[in-house]
Chains A and B, each alone.
Chain A
Amino acid sequence: MTALLQTRILTVLVFLPSAAAALLLLFPRSRSREAKIFAIGASLVELALALPLWSRLDLHSGTFQFTETTSWVPALGITYSLGMDGISLLLVLLTVLLTPVSLLFSLNHVEKSARAFSIAFLVLETGMVGTLVALDLALFYVFWEVMLVPMYFIIGVWGGGRRIYAAMKFFLFTMAGSLLMFLAILYLAIRYRAVTGRWSFLLSDLVTLSFPTMAVQTLLFAAFALAFAIKVPVFPLHTWLPDAHTEAPTAGSILLAGVLLKLGIYGYLRFALPLFPDAAMRYAPWLGILGIIGVVYGAFVAYAQRDMKRLVAYSSVSHLGLIVIGIGAFTSAAVTGSVLQMINHGLSTGALFLLVGVLYERTHTREIADYGGIAGAVPVTTALFLVATFSSIGLPGLNGFVGEFLILLGTWTSVHRWWAVAAATGVILSAIYMLSLVQRVFWNPVTREENRRLPEIRPTEAIGALALVVVMVWIGVRPNDFLDRVRPSVEQLRRSVATRKVATTSSWPSRALRVRSGQAPRGIPQEIAR
């Protein structure tokens, strides 16, 4: 058993939730509370198993660790290949933290077929963790798509009034992007075979490919980028997000905003950048501009919302825009900040959705106008909400500040200096709409008498929120604990991007396969190094 945890820890992490889900099928359907407690237990075991990776990760190496490879479809070179670097470590930890938090929240709230609800969450956890540790593109694609099915059911079965529409939109939007990525993956593998004579879907093999023309690389990059941009979502593709977030049950929103959105950014960093560095660098300005539009547009639309959940959803559009700007700027500080900001956003938005859910379960309304002055009735909820808000708007001392500061700094020192100006307005705007939300919900005069007797947050709900707050403070006070884990992987990533893939001078046979010499080329092109 301990040997398994030593050598195949990632497999255990990926499939433990599914195994628990399979066991849940054996539960009688009437035993809904037991089923929920079992699921919480399984997700806590998962968390306990994942935590040691925090210290096991080698901080001096940006490469993949805890790797394991097993042949899956030998005839096509498809492997079951897993590995983890600092970026995926933090995201996996975020995932295994948010899953028990959302399940704990649902303990007293989900009545309808609770067993199926728990199964959906556990299967979703397998999909999320699998996506984060897969190093084979075929395997990655399988996890990436499998995630959709439980989320479709979570929104569609347990969601709010327009849940059917929201679930369908979520599924179709995400699928639309990923199907073209699927063809692009096939093309890469087939090209690899044409060039080297053997099949492989491994990321480490496919990044050595070069492309006949820039146009080919651009098209393939576009297929990948579209899939990831829809998931993030980047500005014009974001319309599924407010619907899905608003209609999803609270627990679903927590994971959707906390983890699923990050997978878009993660996929971009892990796959699109190293596979298509030339195209990625050429179109990075567009990415940055779309990020800027997302930041400003998301902030204004968030300010205009009357529905708390929709407000938080649009705030995600704005915050993820900021992360996209950081990725587009591509300096060391900006990318590191973006990665940290992914975690920060997962924590703060997860907490905000959870607390909005707490209020909703008591009043069954999400209209901001139906609240006002409830701070007196629910002081603990108010305090937690305030901390989450401060984290979200980047108050120094909490996690959001570190991430936003690094992104702004990194963007300012990049060639796209003026982006930082736009990004900074987003930070200011987020303070406006979030504080105005707090003002209207918790402080203003009481407008409804029944709100004076609003029941306080329950322990099962508070534990989750508290756990998130602890991590927020931790990142805020000791950010280097986290940055030290991210930085080597970011440097590794930047080195791999520095290798150009479209040769302009060499003739065809040599340019067909230009395996990178060694690991790190000495000279990093100027515009990236700055």
Chain B
Amino acid sequence: MTPSFLALGPNDLAAAWPEISLAVAGCLVILLDAFAPSSRRSFATLSLAAIAVSMWFLVTAPAGLSFSGRYETSDLTAAAGLFAGATAAIAILTARPYLERVGQAKGEFYALLLWGHLGVLLLTRGLDLLVVFIGLETLSLSFYVLAAFFRGIGASSEAGLKYFLTGAFGSAFTLYGIALLFGKSGSVRIAALSRPDLAADPLVAFGLLLLLVGFGFKMSLAPFHAWAPDVYQGMPTPAVAYLSVAPKGASLIVLYRVLTAVFQTGMPDRFRTAIAALAILSMSLGNVVALAQRDIKRLLAYSGIAHMGYVTIALAVFGRDALAAVIVYFFAYVVSNAGAFAAVAALYRDETKPHPVGLLAGEGLRSPFAAGVLALCLFSLAGIPATAGFIGKFFVFKSAIEQGLYALAVIGVVNSLVSIGYYLKVVYVLYMRDPVDEEGPPALAASDRLVLGLCAAGILGLGVFPAGLWNLARRAAASLPFGP
């Protein structure tokens, strides 16, 4: 008889410490906010400590399965926890001065971010589709609220509502997909999908497609991307820094986990075609529409849609090195994309208004540090060599060529060329135009300096010395059971 879900052993508890510490810290922040408002200044520090503790637990936890095989601790979960944790740290460091500037230094922000991060950890570690779904909902519910965090601003309420409606829609797809897979395999465990007869089953394929759609929503993969620009625009920028990276990486890991379980002898061509089509559509649509954007947050949203297209190439390639490429890509994406949003948060004064690119004019000379890091992040997103972004693309395109998917690689680099058009447009505004706004951006806070400096160091460090990251990613990718 299998032990019941509630029979907790000591090992199970040890495996769950990363999540427990996040949940407790979130509750603590809320309680302190209500009963000891004077402690508000230390919320960011407390949250950072919680992230650090959670990461430490995750990395040091003994590898293996827990909760009777429903929960995984492995190199893969550690790597995912590392990049998600790093994103959360960037978001928190950025949020502290940001929230003070807008006069909204409330505990909820940090608590919701911590709980959302908890959801991401559940997504990456769950070996049971229900655990995955609970993770997805924990993440989503936290970020629905974060999207509408500025209650007084119309754009923020709009973002909250839009994210909620599309998110609920996406979750329904996911749940329907899970139900179909459960119906065919008789279990919600992912491992139960590894039956030879299931790989060719049309109903299983349909269930997988529904999962692809559901997580496609979370990844803002075209054609499921429509929410992203509006939500990014209205959501507090530090929360966007997190939302635009970590949940997307976690979603891809879930997809990889499920697909490796089903397709043990390799991915069928029809399925690969479907994923490749999503990748091509996402890259092309994201890049072309981004060319027309005037708002930096919308521009980065479309750039994000395009980037999810690039990294989805590695899902279509489907293999151990391709999964390693995904992991490398997301480490690079953390420092470049979350770094870009951190810089945007530091460079705009008025959060009640949109963030036109034109307002950045001349900041290259007036705020050299923040603008310099933003430019570096954009070059990294564009994939210029010696930056982290190039390394990410390098491994993704390498995996595509190894698999013989030349067309995908060529479409990918053509898209990279298109993307340079809009990244350089921002750089041009930063450095080659005279300031339009008399007042200029707010003074750079110490934590802004820290986070921007770390991102810049990360971009150049990973860009010049990628060997360590690649080894880490290869080890992490070995955690999934790929077929021969």
The residues of A with any CB-CB pair to B shorter than 8 Å are 72-76, 113, 141-142, 144-146, 148-149, 152-153, 156-157, 163-164, 167-168, 171-172, 175-176, 179-180, 182-183, 186-187, 190
A-B contact pairs, 30 of them (CB 8 A): A73-B466, A75-B467, A75-B474, A76-B470, A144-B385, A145-B384, A145-B385, A153-B431, A156-B431, A156-B432, A164-B428, A168-B421, A168-B428, A171-B420, A171-B424, A172-B417, A172-B421, A176-B417, A179-B416, A179-B417, A180-B413, A182-B397, A182-B413, A183-B397, A183-B401, A183-B409, A183-B410, A186-B398, A186-B401, A190-B402
CA distance A179 to B466 in the complex (A): 20
Residues of A within 8 A of B409 (CB): 183, 186
Those of B376-397 within 8 Å (CB) of chain A: 379, 384-386, 390, 394, 397
**A226 vs chain B, min Cβ distance (A):** 12
Partner of A190, one of B390, B394, B398, B413: B398
Chain B residues with CB under 8 Å of A157's CB are 431-432
Contacts of A186 in B (CB 8 A): 394, 397-398, 401, 409
The answer to whether A141 and B424 have CB atoms under 8 Å apart is no
Interface residues of B (CB under 8 A from A): 365, 379, 384-386, 390, 394, 397-398, 401-402, 406, 409-410, 413-414, 416-417, 420-421, 424, 427-428, 431-432, 466-467, 470-471, 474
Tell me the dominant secondary structure on chain B's binding face: helix
Once A75-B471, A186-B401 are accepted as A-B contacts, the answer to whether A142 and B431 lie under 8 Å apart by CB is no
CA distance A180 to B401 in the complex (A): 12
Q: Which residues of A contact B417 (CB under 8 A)?
A: 172, 175-176, 179
Residue with the highest number of chain B CB atoms closer than 10 Å, among A148, A171, A186: A186
Partner of A149, one of B384, B401, B402, B410: B384
Shortest CB distance B368–A (Å): 8
Complex Cα distance A394/B466, Å? 49
Q: Is A187 a contact partner of B385 (Cβ separation < 8 A)? A: no
* Cα(A145)–Cα(B394), bound, Å: 14
User: In the complex the two chains form, what is the Cα distance from A190 to B470 in whole Å?
Assistant: 17
Question: Nearest 9 CB-CB pairs, A to B?
Answer: A179-B413, A142-B385, A145-B385, A73-B467, A156-B432, A186-B401, A186-B398, A190-B402, A146-B386
Q: Is A156's CB under 8 angstroms from B402's CB? A: no
- How many angstroms between the C-alpha atoms of A145 and B406 in the bound complex? 22
Q: How far is the CA of A148 from the CA of B386 in the complex (A)?
A: 12
Task: Return chain A residues, CB-CB under 8 Å to B402.
Answer: 190
Chain A residues within an 8 Å CB radius of B394? 186
Residue in A closest to B429 when the chains form the complex, CB atoms: A164
Q: Which residues does chain B contribute within 8 Å of A74, judged by CB atoms? A: 467
Inter-subunit contact B470/A149 (CB<8 Å): no
Q: How far is B433's CA from A156's CA once the two chains are assembled, in angstroms?
A: 10
> What is the CA–CA distance of A75 and B428 in the complex, to the nearest angstrom?
37
Write the chain B residue with the least CB distance to A143. Answer: B385
User: Is there an interface contact between A148 and B432, defined as CB atoms closer than 8 Å?
Assistant: no
CB distance from A116 to the nearest CB of B (A): 9
- Tell me if A148 and B384 are in contact (CB < 8 A): yes
CB neighbours (8 Å) of B427 from chain A are 152
Q: Which B residues lie within 8 Å of A163 (CB)?
A: 432
**What are the residues of chain A within 8 A of B474 when measuring CB–CB?**
75
- Known contacts: A168-B424, A176-B417, A183-B410. The answer to whether A73 contacts B401 by CB under 8 A is no
List chain A residues, Cβ under 8 A from B467: 72-75
Task: State A175–B427 Cα separation when bound (angstroms).
Answer: 16
B201 CB to nearest chain A CB (Å): 34
- B398 contact set on A, CB distance < 8 A: 186, 190
B413 CB → nearest A CB, Å? 4
Contact among A73, A75, A168, A183 with B413 in the assembled complex (CB-CB below 8 Å): A183
Tell me whether B410 and A146 are in contact (CB under 8 A). no
